[in-house]
Every structure is written in C-alpha cells, then in structure tokens.
Amino acid sequence: MTTRDDIGTGPGAPGLTRPGGAGEEEPGEVSPAAVRGDTVTVVIVHRDRPDVLPATVAAFAATDRDGPAVRVMVVDNASGPSSAPVLDALAGAGVEVVTSPTNLGFGPGANVGLRRWLRRGGGTWVAVAPHDARPRRDTLARLVEAGRADERLGLISADVGDGATPLVDPFLGAIGGPQTITEGFEPGDYPHGTLLMARRACLEQVGVFDERYFAYCEEADLGLRARAAGWEVGVVRGARVDNPGMSTAVERVAYLQLRNTLLLLREHYGRRQSLFRAVFALGRLPVGVVHPPARGLHWSPVGRLRGIADHYRGRYGPPPVWSGPRWGGGSPLRIRRRRGRRSRSPSAGVGYG
C-alpha cells in the first residue's frame, strides 16, 4: 500500500492497514462480530518526538485480529530535522504522512486529518491521538463495539485510568467527576484528548475542532457542541490508553489552559461564568506565591496573567512567543513522498510547542 504524493481528496487514500499483530492478549472479551469489517482511520498529531512516534504508530497498527482494520495518518507540525528520517521511514512503510511547515497546534493539526477523512467518504469512525498515546491491543475494538451498540454515541474516548469522568463545570471549566462503572460506556461532557473517536455523522453535523484553541480545551468544546446537538459523549471503560508524559514548557501550558478555559466558559455558558473563572484564577496567584502546595500543576503566574489578558483582548490561536522554540501559525500543507523500499511495518521504538 503506497502513500499519496498529492493532497487530492479522492477515495482510496492509503494508510497502514494491519488487522492483526503479535503480542500478548489483553484481558477482557470483545465480540468479534461487533467490530469485524470496520475500518478506523487514526489521525496522530506529531511534533518533534521521533523517539516515540514509531512506537505509537505500531501500537495502533497492532489491533486484535478480529478487531477493526486501521489506517494511520500522521500530521506533522513543523518538526525539526531530526524527525525527517522517522517520517520518511513511516511513509515508506505505507503510513500517510502530512507535513506542515509551521506548527498548527493540536486541534488545527488534527483538523487536517479529520477534513481529509470527511472529504474522502467511507468509514464510520475516525480516531485522534497525540504522538505518545499507547492504546492496548483491544482498545479500538472496544471503542467500535460501544459505538455500534448505540447509534447515539457521537464522541467516545478511551479510558486513561485516572478514575475520573470528564465533566465541565460552568464556573470552573474542565473537571474530573467520579468514575461510576468499570466496563462499558460512561457518559461525560467531553472525550479525553489522549484517544478520542468520532462518528462521521456527528462531525458532519457539529464540525471539527475550533481552531481558536490551538491546544487544550478543544475536545471539551467539541464535546459540548456535540451534546448540544443531541449526541451522547463519554468514556468507554475498559478501553485503556496510556499517555507517558508532556514535553511542552509550563508557561505555555498555563497560558493555553487558562485562556482557553475562559473562552470555553464564555462560549458555552456566558460572560459571567467566564469572568468568575478569571477572578478566581487571579485570586489564587498570591496564594500560590506564599503557599507552594496550593499551586497545583503547571504553575506559572506569567502564563496565567497573559492568558487572562489575551482572552479579554480576543487573541486566540497560537500562543505568544516565549524564549525557546517558536510556536507558529497556519500555513499550506504538503505530503511527504514515499522513499525507499516498503517495509512490512513501521519500526518500533503533548507537546506541540
């Protein structure tokens, strides 16, 4: 199976398709009849992690023998020269690799793959994951099985194992509610971004990620839009995925998380709720300065203050430039051409700034 060398939208677009693979079986049972014959396109958003990307592609390719066939598409966000050999090798193995000369961010980068999948037609499900997601062997099969059992499910995600249900508080933003079941679909407000799966009909109705978010909170916005349109959203317990870590600077994370939370609350609940969240964040800054245990994750007063300021300036999309690697904006895309001989599988082994 070859890789396209243009950005056409015709059918039959390639990807890595491996309905089986070697390895130890995961616990639990999935009905083969429920998922056999399905094809899932997996959009992996990548930036500057050539050390983990091949293993992520291989993990998605190694689905259960009776699970869905998998087509992998890697969207590369302007990675540095060290990523080029890995991207070329993946393209040579039949993986569709789409590269951007600038960093689009997670949501906009995922949209590149989502729009290509929507234009081509065919297939009910598309999955989105970052470059370091690690699904279990039966994860995609469990997700497809849950989706086929209930046609109201529009957005579902794998279980990250944190014991929480993704919810949105109208005054605070994304929070974790208690997990109530251990197997099957559990309703929530949005799907985890570590591995989410979307039904074609849902995306055709509500659209793809809002690109103002760049990274963080885009999956919460999409989930709330889907729920408002009448779709069910949540987590499939037992369909596990791991996410080893984060490589983005803490200032950028703090900035994006707070700025985007304010945008999310304003868009879905109103200006009063967004203002409450901004005042709450400002009030916690002096507390964190004098009492470090109250700081929480991603502590950066500068990042949070700039996030609040840019929200009220209406500045969204890519974050401002801090010292270190530059964050870019949108630009045209190109397809990485296949080079060398085809190999049977990719070689094995969320930061977007």
* Spatial contact of 191 and 143, defined as CB atoms under 8 Å apart: no
Q: Please state the domain extents for the chain.
A: 32-246, 250-313
Measured between alpha carbons, how far is 118 from 130 in angstroms, rounded to an integer? 20
What is the structure's pLDDT at 299? 79
Measured between alpha carbons, how far is 79 from 104 in angstroms, rounded to an integer? 11
Is domain 32-246 in CATH 3.90.550.10, yes or no? yes
* Spatial contact of 221 and 268, defined as CB atoms under 8 Å apart: yes
pTM of the model: 0.82
What is the structure's pLDDT at 65? 67
Measured between alpha carbons, how far is 152 from 85 in angstroms, rounded to an integer? 42
What is the structure's pLDDT at 15? 36
What is the structure's pLDDT at 36? 54
* Residue among 216, 301, 310 nearest 264 (CA): 216
What is the structure's pLDDT at 17? 31
Task: Say which DSSP state 81 is in.
Answer: G
DSSP string, 176-233: EEEP--SSEEEE-SS--TTSEEEEHHHHHHH-S--TTSSSSSHHHHHHHHHHHTT-EE
Measured between alpha carbons, how far is 350 from 134 in angstroms, rounded to an integer? 13
DSSP β-bridge partners for residue 270: none
Helices (H) and strands (E) in the chain, counts: 10, 12
CA separation (Å) from 50 to 55, 86, 106, 349?
9, 6, 17, 9
Measured between alpha carbons, how far is 97 from 85 in angstroms, rounded to an integer? 12
Measured between alpha carbons, how far is 82 from 98 in angstroms, rounded to an integer? 16
Measured between alpha carbons, how far is 251 from 299 in angstroms, rounded to an integer? 8
Mean pLDDT by 10 residues, the chain (353 residues): 33 32 38 62 96 96 82 96 97 95 95 96 94 95 96 98 96 96 97 96 98 97 98 98 74 94 98 97 87 78 95 96 45 38 29 48
* Spatial contact of 93 and 336, defined as CB atoms under 8 Å apart: no
Measured between alpha carbons, how far is 118 from 150 in angstroms, rounded to an integer? 21
